[in-house]
Structure 1
């Protein structure tokens, strides 16, 4: 059911859109004389990446009722993301803003989330969505960090499930967004328990398990009980894909990285569209890893995500993934 739903290549994505400012390649913040601007925010990046790779995606979120919100909406439209459920909110709420350096050593990423507009997404927003028009729902953990977005996101889970949509959950734990680690562990674990597919890194699974060394056991337990598919990412050491039928490891595509930003979002986009394009699960995971490598080797997040020809060119010219 899960892979068949993904094969429709038509996703409703619940989560934030933000604006990114980033330096030129190799330039640190204190040396920057100019910065570039691009679409950011984990959910927006995933949706844009899916559309750039030939899929369809609609984003459900709130944006600030100002020029930054207009920029984010305009960029979503530029990438082909459906913005019918991107709703402006007024007052003092503001879009999230990220400022980061296009460097790896000592990389600094500052994210402004005070009074975040996307946290104002409410149950009415998610109730207006026709979930029957989509194949699957994708979200990332940030949506659960504050109310009313938290309750609205759990309601979106319920409404999607009523229409037979599987839930695809990227844990995406960002400590700065949460009131405490204890609240985050509880809420993210609840979201994971309701999801059909879970993607996270070793630290995130360890966080939910209460100890880093228990993270892989947590991932395997979720795959045996509530989830159909779990992907346990280990950075430069690749990933372990776990289902009730199989477990396999995959490597990464080494590149000269400029920054770490956007890798997980691009991985998700590449994974989803590759499954939809008929690739095997293992090849889809590898193609997702290739998309992550492409993004970290370029400035920006959404602007750096590949289209099909760029992905195929990368795969044909790269020596191949690391062995595991």
Structure 2
């Protein structure tokens, strides 16, 4: 586990996966189908993790492809706004498109519409990942969506090999999105392969259950993955908190209850808060709780990247908020 923790403590991350544009109905409570005004900002799971890390004082670089159009340039501009290193962004012309998410700040009957036509982020190649200077970073992060199609599936597994050769630990957010995959069977096989090659695995009960072939088997799958020495597995259970498996221990943590405006963005913010906490030298339980606090902050505000907290906002939340609950 020391290689993993030491890598994270360098506080510099190379992140693989998509960026996208979020459009969320304004004001809070407006339904997307009747809204006349939308706010825009950065979205996409990996881009959100990058922005969250930068806002918490880490360094992050995103490796992906963006479309050669106004929306692709919008996303690049917003990545730069949040301080994300964009040197590994490849701009692709033609009919490839960056993803677009339309949603609302409403919990009841929440609607999220994602446009993934000719998704440009799947076009990351071996050549793209070989351009990365892995030695400049402490750890590699990927979200599971990159594995849903070729060529990014193969190129990200190649990036795993490159990271290993450079001594970098691999951090994997399962992030299973059924609509991106050709079939559940392919997804279960590929995501399990990725998990087997990772040092830190984060997912929710449904994602581990999916990899195991049934939600009731998810916890056992997490334990099985955590049996490899040096690996940390975090099994998230929503309102029930999380279980962290590390060095034969099972660390149970609760959540920070908030009035949620929306469900999305929590996982990305959790990852950023967790890694920033470890990078600061905090113990694993404290780092997981900081991740949970970041998740609560994001679901209680509009948007994803703009809702990610700064260190001052995180400290203010922790000092003024009851919790965490006991799982």
For the residues of structure 2 that align with 1:37 and 1:208, how far apart are their CA atoms? 34
Deviations 1:14-72 (A, max 9, x none): 01000000012111112211000010000000001000000000000000011111111
For the residues of structure 1 that align with 2:264 and 2:20, how far apart are their CA atoms? 13
Aligned to 2:253: 250
Q: Which runs of 4+ in 1 moved over 4 A?
A: none
- Residue of structure 1 aligned with 2:318, choices 291, 306, 315: 315
Aligned to 1:81: 84
For the residues of structure 1 that align with 2:107 and 2:274, how far apart are their CA atoms? 25
Aligned to 1:273: 276
For the residues of structure 2 that align with 1:42 and 1:233, how far apart are their CA atoms? 17
2:141 aligned with 1:142: no
Three-state SS of the structure 2 residue aligned to 1:82 is coil
Deviations 1:107-129 (A, max 9, x none): 01010111001001111000000
2:43 aligned with 1:40: yes
Report if the CA contact (8 A) 1:193-1:227 is conserved. Answer: no
Aligned to 1:299: 302
Deviations 1:115-157 (A, max 9, x none): 0010011110000001000000000000000010100100000
Report if the CA contact (8 A) 2:227-2:248 is conserved. Answer: no
Three-state SS of the structure 2 residue aligned to 1:4 is helix
2:187 aligned with 1:166: no
2:77 aligned with 1:53: no
Number of residue pairs matched by the alignment: 324
Aligned to 2:123: 120
Report if the CA contact (8 A) 2:12-2:58 is conserved. Answer: yes
For the residues of structure 1 that align with 2:86 and 2:291, how far apart are their CA atoms? 25
Report if the CA contact (8 A) 2:146-2:152 is conserved. Answer: yes
2:17 aligned with 1:15: yes
For the residues of structure 1 that align with 2:230 and 2:264, how far apart are their CA atoms? 27
2:206 aligned with 1:203: yes
Q: How big is the shift at 1:225?
A: 2.5
Aligned to 1:191: 194
For the residues of structure 2 that align with 1:12 and 1:284, how far apart are their CA atoms? 20
Aligned to 2:154: 151
Residues 263-272 or 243-252, more deviating: 243-252
TM-score, length basis structure 2: 0.98
For the residues of structure 1 that align with 2:34 and 2:159, how far apart are their CA atoms? 44
Q: How big is the shift at 1:278?
A: 1.4
Report if the CA contact (8 A) 1:230-1:243 is conserved. Answer: yes
For the residues of structure 1 that align with 2:230 and 2:168, how far apart are their CA atoms? 14
For the residues of structure 1 that align with 2:187 and 2:286, how far apart are their CA atoms? 33
Q: How big is the shift at 1:244?
A: 2.3
For the residues of structure 2 that align with 1:18 and 1:60, how far apart are their CA atoms? 13
For the residues of structure 2 that align with 1:260 and 1:226, how far apart are their CA atoms? 34
Three-state SS of the structure 1 residue aligned to 2:175 is coil
Structure 1 residues without counterparts, runs of 5 or longer: none
Report if the CA contact (8 A) 1:193-1:226 is conserved. Answer: no
